[in-house]
Structure 1
């Protein structure tokens, strides 16, 4: 009984449905609407809103990711020998899983790479290195790392990022 009452209540909400109305309406269309009307005013301006840095002023900063695309790609290239645990291109964080070099048994490393800027800058990347040594009785134990190890990896990432940028500039100039 209540189901029937609900159907009648919804039917009463339909309002006036004259036969001369058309759908979809072309009133209020604009440049962001498929039918396009240049006179439409919106709160976001003529071109709408740009998400993820799609403007012309940040060329090379990466379209669709939140960090510099050269630093992001160079970071992934540089640490590609290590298994990835997590990669967040919007936050600019890459976390590797533990990696044990076959030549150095009894110790393993883990990296966290932070990309800090949308520009290709020397201070735009930071690497944290974690090291563990294996003890027969206690298992894996955290051990301090050489302070220069993170800096060496940062320098390798920056070198690779510069190479990527130069190769993309050379491709852009030749028109390929």
Structure 2
């Protein structure tokens, strides 16, 4: 009886060893859902990259919030912008990103709230989404 058990165990070990020579399929490191920082890392990195020219007040990678300080464009010294970017999901999707903008204009030395064009926010969201998709494509290619 012991000999039969030995043969069975040896056959099982050899069968498992034969499976070890195959290469495992690569894990998709660029999956649309990346949760190491609480939100989609491609959207997070793309947002930080897109806002790199502005001073940052707050960044919360767990909550997915980036708040900038007021930024004055040297070409338009009479106006300034402040942005809040919120990443709402762990998936890389357009509806997982929300950008809110505040704009002020200088009138007689006082900063006064002014309307922000919707196209400005939409353009920034488009830039961030394009950068995030490019980051994902690069990760897949590697």
Using structure 2 for the length normalisation, give the TM-score.
Answer: 0.76
Q: Which residue of 2 aligns with 1:73?
A: 45
**Offset, 1:145:** 0.7
Q: Is the 8 A contact 2:34 2:91 kept in 1?
A: no
Distance in 2 separating the partners of 1:101 and 1:82: 10
Structure 1 residue 60 displacement after superposition: 5.0
Cα distance in 1 for partners of 2:70, 2:33 equals 30
What does 1:81-96 correspond to in 2, within 5 Å?
81-96=53-68
Matched residue, 1:164: 135
- The alignment's TM-score, normalised by the length of structure 1, stands at 0.62
How big is the shift at 1:147? 1.3
1: CA distance between counterparts of 2:79 and 2:63? 30
Conserved 8 A contact 2:85-2:98: yes
Which of residues 125, 131, 135 is equivalent to 2:97? 125
| Aligned equivalent of 1:112 | 84
Q: Identify the residue that residue 48 of structure 1 maps to in structure 2.
A: none
Query: How many aligned positions are there?
Result: 114
Structure 2 equivalent of residue 146 of structure 1:
117
Gaps of 5+ in 1: 1-55, 172-176
Secondary structure of residue in 2 paired with 1:70: helix
CA shift at 1:84, angstroms? 0.4
Distance in 1, Cα, partners of 2:107 & 2:127: 31
The structure with the larger Rg is 1
**8 Å Cα contact 1:60-1:69 kept in structure 2:** no
Q: Provide the residue aligned with 2:15 in structure 1.
A: none
- Runs of at least 5 residues in structure 2 that lack an aligned partner in the other structure: 1-27
Q: Which runs of 4+ in 1 moved over 2 A?
A: 58-64
Higher strand share: 2
For 2:71, what is the secondary structure of its paired residue?
Answer: coil
Structure scoring higher RCO (CA < 8 A, sep ≥ 6) equals 2
Q: Partners of 2:91 and 2:117 in 1: how far apart?
A: 28
Corresponding residue of 2:24: none
Quote the Cα distance in structure 1 between the aligned partners of 2:37 and 2:128. Answer: 18
Shift of 1:154: 0.5
